[in-house]
Structures are given as C-alpha cells and as structure tokens.
C-alpha cells in the first residue's frame, strides 16, 4: 500500500511504526500514540487524521511495547469457577462493559470448582502481568490459595463469593438477607416444612444462605430439620434429584428455597416428573433472578441479587485499587430483593 505514491520504510519491512505515522503527519510520536489511544488531550481533528492514516497503513497497536513503557498492560484478569450458570455470564458481561469504558481489556480463566485447576489458572493469568484481577473463588479456597496472586503484588477483588480473612476488596449481595426474604415469603404463605436445596459450607454464599435460612426458621419457632437440607453445588441435576427424594420422606416438605435459580429449575422439573407442579401444590423459590427465571413456566419466584450492579462495583473497586494500592479495603454489600412470580402458592 502507498501513501502519496510512495511506500514507507516501515512498510518495506512489513511493519508500520509510530514513527512512520508521525513523520507523515509532521507530529511527535507521543502525540500519535495518544491519538491512537483516543486520548482527550489530543484535538479531535488530529485524532481523526492519525487514526485514518493508521487504518490506511495497516498499523497494529503494539501492546507489549506499550506495557514496557508504562508498566501497565491495560488488561484485567477475571477468574471464575463457572460461566455455564447464566448468573456468572451476566456478572461477566457487566464487568467487561465497565472495564471497556475505562480502556481495559479482560482476560478470562475458569476452573469448575476445582482447587487444583484454580491454582493453575491463577498461575497462568499471572504470567500475562494483568493490572489486577477479579475472582470468584472455587469452593474450599483459603487465603493460602490466593498468595500466588497477592505475593506478586497483583491487586485482587473478590466478587459474589469471598474467602474468610483474605482482607481483599469485595462486591457481593447480602446472601443471608436474601434467604431471609425467601423463607419469610414461604412462611407467610403458611408453609412450615421448607427444604433448602443446594449450597455448602465450602463457599461463603452457601454458608451465608444457610445462616439466613436457619435464623429465619428460629425466629418463627420452627425447629431446624437437617433431613430437609440437601448439600451440593448449584446445578439443575441437584435440584431435580433432591426434590424427588424429599417427596418420599414420611413428612415431606411443601416448599423449597434453592441455592440458586439453576437448582430451582431442576426442582421444578423434578416436581413435574413426580406429578406435582410448582405454584399449584408445591412452592419453589430460587436465588439470583437470572433472565431465564421470568421465562420459565411457571415463572420463578426468586431473590434478585443485583448481579449487574455487583459486576460494575467489582470492576470499579479494582480500578480504584490499581490506582491506589494502599487504599483501605472496601466491601460493597448489595441489598437483595424478592421477586414474586408464579412458582409459589399458599399451603394447601
């Protein structure tokens, strides 16, 4: 490709540099660099000239060279235990949106509740020298598991789940309060045999939701019955299997609160296979309020955890931490709300 009928020296080598663009436009390389990054300090007319010529010449931004100059990569790593659950997809989407608005690119790693895989993902992401990381830790993660990141000086923000005593920034929902709202709703409908499906003590969300469940029952003078609690990670399969086994008890539950919406979807299908129907002769409450919850039949009553705000808060916390590494640790705890739809009904 030629400009003014001439092939540049950079093009002869197969590489267009900042210097080539700067020489063509009689600008400094610093101005060209700022213009290509759409900096507000460069006049719009100059940015347009630079960006048009860069496109014409086929200029490719050299991120590695830029990071060596600035000691920043403008990359943040995101490490989640799961992205098959639409809740985490929604979280990831708003993290990416917030990062993008701030000129940052995300690098994603997942590890499916495996501590061994999580350690490998952390090590790999660390090699890319991200400016910071947002993590949702796998079940059983301890402070020791996080040292591979913190010892390298990488700013870390936890989202949705948190590791006890990690002393890291955190953005999440008040999970105990969310479960209180769910149980209170079922109690108001007359239910007393209320099952808890999913969750475990290996994750903060599981611990906090079980605490909310037990405390609410206790406030109403209802004895905690461990036979009504089914532990496990939040999958449709767990909901499907557990609700069917609970229906076989001598005193089966008449309602269930679920660790997440996926468990609730599975429970609703399990009820249908057993000849029962959520919202008619059994009540089901989910947790998360993913987009699919409103589309189910019957539409799922669930706890809205404000995941879009959560993801934005996590990204903003990380941007703040990158800019001010010594700032005080912050926790953003969002107030959940109950969304009543059609999967719950009065005790019959």
Residue whose structure tokens are 């870390």: 156
pLDDT for residue 5: 29
Q: What is the DSSP string of 35-55?
A: HHTT-TTS-HHHHHHHHHHHH
Domains of the chain are 18-61 (no CATH), 72-173+307-334 (3.40.50.2300), 175-305 (3.40.50.2300)
Sheet containing 132-136, strands listed edge to edge, beginning at the edge strand earlier in sequence:
105-110, 75-80, 132-136, 156-159, 169-173, 331-334
Residues of the chain with pLDDT under 50: 1-14
Q: Which residues contact 39 (CB under 8 A, 6 or more apart)?
A: 47
Q: Which residues contact 150 (CB under 8 A, 6 or more apart)?
A: 156, 168
pLDDT for residue 14: 46
Q: Is 275 left (phi over 0), alpha (psi -120 to 50) or beta?
A: left
Q: Which tokens go with 174?
A: 């008040």
Record the pTM: 0.81
> pLDDT digit string (tens) for 248-307?
999 999 999 999 999 999 999 999 999 999 999 999 999 999 999 999 999 999 999 999
């Amino acid at each position: 490709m030629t400009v003014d009928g001439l092939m540049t020296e950079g093009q002869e080598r197969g590489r267009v540099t900042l210097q080539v663009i700067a020489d063509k436009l009689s600008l400094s390389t610093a101005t060209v660099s700022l213009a290509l990054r759409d900096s507000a300090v460069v006049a719009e007319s100059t940015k347009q000239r630079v960006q048009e010529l860069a496109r014409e010449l086929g200029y490719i931004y050299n991120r590695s060279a830029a990071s060596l100059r600035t000691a920043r990569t403008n990359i943040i790593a995101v490490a989640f235990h799961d992205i098959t659950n639409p809740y985490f997809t929604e979280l990831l989407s708003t993290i990416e949106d917030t990062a993008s608005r701030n000129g940052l690119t995300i690098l994603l790693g997942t590890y499916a509740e495996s501590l061994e895989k999580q350690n490998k993902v952390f090590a790999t992401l660390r090699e890319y020298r991200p400016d910071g990381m947002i993590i949702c830790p796998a079940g059983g993660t301890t402070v020791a598991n996080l040292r591979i990141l913190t010892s390298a000086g990488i700013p870390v923000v936890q989202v949705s789940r948190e590791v006890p005593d990690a002393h890291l920034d955190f953005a999440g929902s008040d999970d105990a309060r969310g479960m209180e709202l769910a149980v209170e709703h079922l109690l108001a409908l007359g239910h007393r045999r209320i099952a808890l499906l999913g969750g475990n003590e290996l994750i903060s969300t599981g611990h906090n939701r079980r605490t909310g469940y037990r405390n609410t029952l206790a406030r109403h003078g209802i004895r905690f019955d461990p036979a009504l609690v089914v532990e496990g990670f939040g999958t449709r399969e767990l909901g499907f299997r557990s609700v069917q086994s609970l229906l076989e008890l001598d005193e089966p539950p008449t309602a269930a609160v679920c660790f997440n919406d996926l468990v609730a979807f599975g429970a609703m299908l399990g009820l249908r296979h057993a000849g029962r129907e959520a919202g008619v002769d059994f009540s089901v409450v989910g947790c998360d309020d993913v987009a699919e919850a409103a589309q189910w039949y019957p539409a799922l009553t669930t706890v809205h955890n404000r995941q879009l705000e959560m993801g934005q808060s996590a990204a903003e916390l990380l941007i703040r931490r990158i800019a001010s590494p010594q700032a005080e640790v912050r926790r953003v705890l969002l107030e959940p709300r109950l969304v009543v739809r059609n999967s719950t009904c009065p005790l019959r």
